[in-house]
Amino acid sequence: MTAEPLIRAEGLGLSLPDRGARAGRLGFGAPPLLDILQDIDLTVGAGESVGLVGESGSGKTSLGRTLMRLYRPTAGRLTFEDRDITGLGEGALRPLRADMQFIFQDPQSSLNPRARIGEILSQPLHAFGRAKGRRDAWAQASALLERVGLPPSFAGRYPHELSGGQRQRVGIARAIALKPRLVVADEVVSGLDVSSQAQILALLNELKRDLGLALVFISHDLSVVRVLCDRVVVLRHGRIVEEGTCEGVFAAPGDPYTQELLAAIPLPEVQPGWIFDDARGAADQVDGASAGGSGGAR
Ligand SMILES: Nc1ncnc2c1ncn2[C@@H]1O[C@H](COP(=O)(O)OP(=O)(O)OP(=O)(O)O)[C@@H](O)[C@H]1O
Ligand SMILES: [Mg+2]
């Protein structure tokens, strides 16, 4: 990959207190530490998309969170644009927070149910001084909604008044509000039906291209990673067992575990162009239907 390294992990490790053990120890002494991630060497280039795959509990979410410094690594080194961020405190990290955004699996629980969509999207703009007052924030929120294929009038709605796919678009709009360099998307299509999945993938693909985002795309679904990502990283028990271009790994998986993962999933021979063209057509239809009538999704 020729892209400039945006984020780089070298020998990264993460150990966390064993939650199970804590309960069993009746609160005496420090709980033992569990090795969650070990020896992770990973570079994500500017504008590059990397899929993180592996079975449940392999450490995908933990790695995504550590790369964004939502966890402090307990070993190794983490750099963002050549700046060592391994041990930075929250104050020093704060300006960087705008550059790294997380999209959650379940927008239902990550969007404040009592805030209107316009307020949800305005909040980071205010927090990072990116809006000149309320009106400007609201106008930017409307533009963000359009950017993710939702009508600007949705700014006045509450999260529960949207469908799952529409809520995920809001989650994406919130993530790109501050024009980040890196987005970590954690199982963002898992809870959606197949046609919404295709639409969200098409949108992510478009944003990645237009905004030059680096994308760390976490998914247990290898066929999804294949259409969206340049590279794939396979995790097992908190370690990287295989890494390479999607093309290379899917054509000839080197590690037995990767072969197993591939065999476990019925992998349709889907061409990226096919899924994205198809999804775009479907997106037009669905958005047209829900956006047109004022009562569409209520
Ligand atoms: N805060 C925590 N404290 C202690 N252990 C944790 C914590 N978070 C995760 N773990 C453990 O770390 C391991 C990796 O968890 P993680 O959530 O990163 O896996 P995952 O690959 O994202 O799994 P899934 O596909 O189910 O989302 C698991 O064994 C989990 O129980
Ligand atoms: Mg996870």
3-state class of 7 per DSSP? strand
In angstroms, the CA 46 to CA 24 distance is 45
Segment 143-170 mean pLDDT: 95
Asked if residue 146 has pLDDT above 90, the reply is yes
**Is the CB–ligand 1 distance for residue 184 below 6 Å?**
no
> Is residue 76 domain-shared with residue 116, that is, in the same domain?
no
Tell me how far the alpha carbon of residue 93 is from its chain's centroid.
19
The answer to the question of residue 276 being in a domain is yes
Evaluate whether residue 298 is within a structural domain: no
pLDDT above 90 covers a percentage of the chain that reads 67
- Which of the listed residues 177, 203, 220 is the one where a domain comes to its end? 177
Per-residue model confidence (pLDDT) at position 237: 97
Q: Is the same domain home to 194 and 263?
A: yes
Which of 125-134, 178-187, 265-274 shows the lowest mean pLDDT across its residues?
265-274
The average pLDDT across 67-83 equals 96
Hey, whose CA ends up nearest to atom 18 of ligand 1?
Answer: 59
DSSP secondary structure string, 141-200?
HHHHHHHTT--GGGGGS-GGGS-HHHHHHHHHHHHHTT--SEEEEESTTTTS-HHHHHHH
Question: Which residue among 123, 142, 177 closes a domain?
Answer: 177
Among the candidates 177, 200, 229, a domain finishes at 177
Q: How many CB atoms lie within 10 A of CB 11?
A: 13
Q: Which atom of ligand 1 is nearest to the CA of 235?
A: 21
- Does the C-beta of 62 come closer than 6 Å to ligand 1? yes
Mean pLDDT of 87-99: 95
Q: Would 88 be classed as within a structural domain?
A: yes
Residues 203 and 155 occupy one common structural domain: no
**Amino acid identity, residue 75?**
A
Q: pLDDT digits over 44-68, tens only?
A: 999 999 999 999 999 999 999 999 9
Ligand 1 atom having least distance to the Cα of 62: 18
For the segment 11-39, the average pLDDT, to the nearest whole number, is: 81
Q: 139 and 273: one domain?
A: no
Any atom of ligand 1 within 6 Å of the Cβ of 67: no
Q: How many domains does the chain have?
A: 2
Report yes or no: 226 and 43 within 8 Å, Cβ to Cβ. Answer: no
> Which residue segment(s) compose the domain that 158 sits in?
106-177
Which CATH number does the domain housing residue 195 bear?
A: 3.40.50.300
Residues 285, 137, single domain; the answer is no
- pLDDT at residue 291, as a whole number: 36
C-beta of residue 231 within 8 angstroms of C-beta of residue 59: no
Instruction: Evaluate whether 16 touches 33 at the Cβ level (below 8 Å).
Output: yes
Q: What is the pLDDT of residues 259-285, one digit of tens each?
A: 888 887 665 555 555 555 544 444 444
Residues 21 and 95 in one domain: yes
Give the ligand whose atoms come closest to the C-alpha of residue 235.
1
Q: Give 88-96's long-range contacts (Cβ < 8 A, gap of 24+).
A: 93/69, 96/69
